[in-house]
Structure 1
Amino acid sequence: MRSLLLCGFLIALPTALRAQDVEISTTSLRTPVEQVGGQKASFVAMPIPLSNPAIGSGLGVAALAIYQPQGSVRPWTSGAGGLYTDSKSWGAVVFQKAYLGGDKYRVAAGAGTGVFNVDFFGIGSDAGSDGRSIALEQKVSGAVVEVLSHLGTNVHVGLRYRYIKMDSTFDTASLFPNLQLPQIQLQSQVSQLGLAGEFDTRNSEYFPQSGLYANAQWLVSADALGSDFDYPRFTGAVNGYHSVNDKTVLAWRGSVCRAGENGPFYDLCNYGQSNDLRGYTAGQYRDHAMFAVQAEVRRKIHGRFGAVAFVGVGEVANEFSKMNPKDLLPAAGVGARFEASTKYHVNLSIDYAVGDGSSALYFYVGEAF
């Protein structure tokens, strides 16, 4: 389970909980519920250990209902999730993913709330490398709604709305004057609307062995939408999958982020969040521009067990033109996999990753990307 961090928890959890039907895992409970569209719907509830350098160690819980209504070419997912860690951080979220009109329309929505006790390192690559931080408590609630329409072969485009309400407090900022935050950013809200799109040629949504998946969102935050800030934000990523043989898959990912100059600290580009990259404390390196690239070898070892090895690199800066090869942030790691769902080929995953002077252990459902 990835990106259960800060406000990103509210946006990323519907994607992170993409495990559809954990059938045999010793930590899962699977119960048929009703007949829908000629197929049995399933209910899945499973606890998931959490270990994350930003919010600590603890436990997450995912509860999913998977069903395929009559006429739908893809299974729908409804669900809820929550977490609690030893930093006294907690969060809860509900979400829905649906495919309408024979996949002509794709609808995704989620909402959640939580309290996250994290470290704030400042803004910029130098601030992250300096390593000094202050304790920050963030009470956050938010929602996201995305509606995409089929435009052409493998392409869906549409609108995305995103809302974040943030209440941040800290007691030790006076120790580090360079980490002071504008008062308006401590208690504020962001309301964004914009364009979104997907290009998808993967042979499988949950265990791709070939094809491409690309997505992009360009959102505008404005007073007219009820936001306290006026700024644009762009995010985009491309994933590629190549089958080497029947047991080995090479996967790669490239992503970019650009947040406007008036964006609040909590909605800048956070390195190490949303699958980019493992091995760093999300938020230690944050700025208005970011890129990350990574590659991963996925190998079936024996039966339902597998392993992965990955490397990556990226950078943050105030602008893309100000990025410097000397400031690159590398990462590498290895992981173990257990195929909990043979029907959907969904893995339970454990990764250990090392960054530039940092390391982290991750537990999650599915793949990193």
Structure 2
Amino acid sequence: MLTILFSCSVRGQEPATEQEPAIQWNESSDLLDDEKALPVNAAQPTPFTAIHKKDKNEFVIAPIPFLNPSQGWGLALVGQYIFTLKDDESPPSIVGGGAFYTEKHSYGGGLAYSGKLANDQWRVGLAVGKATVFYDFYGIGYDQNKEDISIPLKQQVEFAGLRLMKQVTNKLFLGLELIGAEITTNIETESIPGNLTNEIVAKTDFVAPNLKAERDTRNDSFYPTQGSLFDLQAEFHSEELHDNTTYQTYKISWNQYLDLAPFSVLAYRLMARFAYGDVPFYSLSMFGQGGDLRGYETGKYRDKMMWAAQTEYRYRFTDRWGGVAFAGAGQLAPKVSEFDGAAFLGSGGLGLRFRLAQKNPVDFRFDTAYGDQKISYYFSVGQSF
């Protein structure tokens, strides 16, 4: 599903979904015929029978309430058109836009396009938007974060992104993203505890190239039941490209999906992210984004190095309704060598799913997660990973 502005308004402080802070275009379904249809038992309901139709063109327009620990309640108005070009065997393309407002008075909007062209030989993405986001900053490093002392920040961001990827072999894509952004940060209090302001950068402008490699064998990206998604990214920031500092971030992730039985799927995800150089606080690795891990306020725990692992069992009760159970764990550290002995952070919980679209398995999700010694709730659209 195409993730619009509210998943990329601020790096790590997503008001609408707990997803990747940078601009993302998650690829659409490769399932274009009936040959990979799920097993059907005539005595049982038949979830997702519609996803095996070649004609998947449809509009998805809805006001969507959401909830997460970083922003509390919010409302997003989302409009998307999912379509396949005539005589093109590519997966569906998506064009859409959205706007959001949250309980913390964060707001923003954007437009995006994710295109699959020439029988999926090319994948193109475009995105533009702007947002103002209010959130709490707890400092850097586990020892600082666990003190639970924060200051309120106001962050304004304007961004534009371009993505171009080419399929070089079976399901393997290589390409480049260019992300341009202006980020302005203000402290929203006169009472500042400790030295939390030492890491605050007032204003940053940058154009960052992001090299990408991706192998996608999922049978569907909205609700995959088979296959995997491997993603490798290397993002470069430099003062020569009008950034305030010079640093790099590297991220690797792997999602696997196993079709256990009719209507039952086991999904698991492994990821690691490493940042080197003079990294601003908003570009650090952090829990609570991209579902890594649910149960944590986005950005409360952040540092240069991070890894996380999680698993999720998914079951469809009917074509419309489903449920999940999930668990995960991970670590943060200033250096890779310091993972040894670093504190483990874990979470787990249960969730419900309700299908929104007619021809594509786009779910509304509600998750209850326990992490950081408290219970958190999530309302959003799309699977966690």
Same fold per TM (> 0.5)?
yes
User: Shift of the alpha carbon at 1:5?
Assistant: 6.2
**Greater alpha carbon shift after TM alignment, 172-181 vs 344-353:** 172-181
User: Shift of the alpha carbon at 1:3?
Assistant: 4.3
How far apart, in 2, do the equivalents of 1:303 and 1:107 lie?
32
Say whether 1:237 aligns with 2:253.
yes
1:101 equivalent in structure 2: 118
Say whether 1:74 aligns with 2:78.
no
How far apart, in 1, do the equivalents of 2:23 and 2:245 lie?
25
**Is the 1:238–1:255 contact (alpha carbons within 8 Å) kept by the matching residues of 2?**
yes
How far apart, in 1, do the equivalents of 2:181 and 2:198 lie?
18
1:158 equivalent in structure 2: 175
User: Shift of the alpha carbon at 1:4?
Assistant: 6.3
How far apart, in 1, do the equivalents of 2:116 and 2:255 lie?
22
**Is the 1:160–1:217 contact (alpha carbons within 8 Å) kept by the matching residues of 2?**
no
**Is the 2:21–2:289 contact (alpha carbons within 8 Å) kept by the matching residues of 1?**
no
**Is the 1:11–1:110 contact (alpha carbons within 8 Å) kept by the matching residues of 2?**
no
User: Shift of the alpha carbon at 1:67?
Assistant: 2.1
Deviations 1:167-205 (A, max 9, x none): 11114365313201356x111123211310110111222
SS in 2 for 1:180: helix
How far apart, in 2, do the equivalents of 1:18 and 1:169 lie?
38
Q: TM-score, normalised by structure 1?
A: 0.88
Q: TM-score, normalised by structure 2?
A: 0.85
Code of the residue aligned with 2:65 in structure 1: it is P
1:111 equivalent in structure 2: 128
How far apart, in 1, do the equivalents of 2:287 and 2:82 lie?
32
Rate the CA distance shift 1:253–1:210 in 2: closer, same or farther, 3 A. Answer: same
Rate the CA distance shift 1:92–1:291 in 2: closer, same or farther, 3 A. Answer: same
Rate the CA distance shift 1:260–1:159 in 2: closer, same or farther, 3 A. Answer: same
2:148 counterpart (128, 131, 147): 131
**Is the 2:28–2:222 contact (alpha carbons within 8 Å) kept by the matching residues of 1?**
yes
Rate the CA distance shift 1:105–1:78 in 2: closer, same or farther, 3 A. Answer: same
2:11 equivalent in structure 1: 7
Code of the residue aligned with 1:95 in structure 2: it is A
Say whether 1:282 aligns with 2:305.
no
How far apart, in 2, do the equivalents of 1:149 and 1:43 lie?
27
User: Shift of the alpha carbon at 1:163?
Assistant: 2.4
Code of the residue aligned with 1:262 in structure 2: it is D
Structure 1 spans left out of the alignment, 5+ residues = 20-37
Code of the residue aligned with 2:134 in structure 1: it is N
SS in 2 for 1:241: strand
2:39 equivalent in structure 1: none
User: Shift of the alpha carbon at 1:89?
Assistant: 0.6
**Greater alpha carbon shift after TM alignment, 43-52 vs 235-244:** 43-52
Structure 2 spans left out of the alignment, 5+ residues = 15-19, 30-53
How far apart, in 2, do the equivalents of 1:262 and 1:246 lie?
50
SS in 2 for 1:224: helix
**Is the 2:28–2:221 contact (alpha carbons within 8 Å) kept by the matching residues of 1?**
no
Equivalences, count: 350
**Is the 2:172–2:214 contact (alpha carbons within 8 Å) kept by the matching residues of 1?**
yes
Say whether 1:42 aligns with 2:58.
yes
How far apart, in 1, do the equivalents of 2:66 and 2:56 lie?
31
How far apart, in 2, do the equivalents of 1:330 and 1:289 lie?
16
Aligned 1:345-356 pairs, distance under 5 A: 345-356=361-372
SS in 1 for 2:218: coil
Say whether 1:310 aligns with 2:314.
no
Rate the CA distance shift 1:16–1:156 in 2: closer, same or farther, 3 A. Answer: closer
Alignment RMSD (CA, Å): 2.3
Say whether 1:297 aligns with 2:313.
yes
User: Shift of the alpha carbon at 1:14?
Assistant: 5.4
Rate the CA distance shift 1:332–1:126 in 2: closer, same or farther, 3 A. Answer: same
How far apart, in 2, do the equivalents of 1:290 and 1:17 lie?
25
**Is the 2:9–2:157 contact (alpha carbons within 8 Å) kept by the matching residues of 1?**
no
**Greater alpha carbon shift after TM alignment, 168-177 vs 46-55:** 168-177
User: Shift of the alpha carbon at 1:60?
Assistant: 1.0
Say whether 1:63 aligns with 2:57.
no
How far apart, in 2, do the equivalents of 1:298 and 1:39 lie?
26
Say whether 1:220 aligns with 2:236.
yes
**Is the 1:190–1:229 contact (alpha carbons within 8 Å) kept by the matching residues of 2?**
no
Deviations 1:94-151 (A, max 9, x none): 1110012211111122121111110000011112111000011111112222211111
How far apart, in 1, do the equivalents of 2:234 and 2:341 lie?
27
User: Shift of the alpha carbon at 1:40?
Assistant: 8.1
Deviations 1:239-272 (A, max 9, x none): 0000110121000001111112311111111211
Say whether 1:88 aligns with 2:105.
yes
**Greater alpha carbon shift after TM alignment, 315-324 vs 278-287:** 315-324
2:193 equivalent in structure 1: 176
User: Shift of the alpha carbon at 1:210?
Assistant: 1.1
SS in 2 for 1:181: helix
**Is the 1:173–1:179 contact (alpha carbons within 8 Å) kept by the matching residues of 2?**
no
Q: Percent identity?
A: 31
1:30 equivalent in structure 2: none
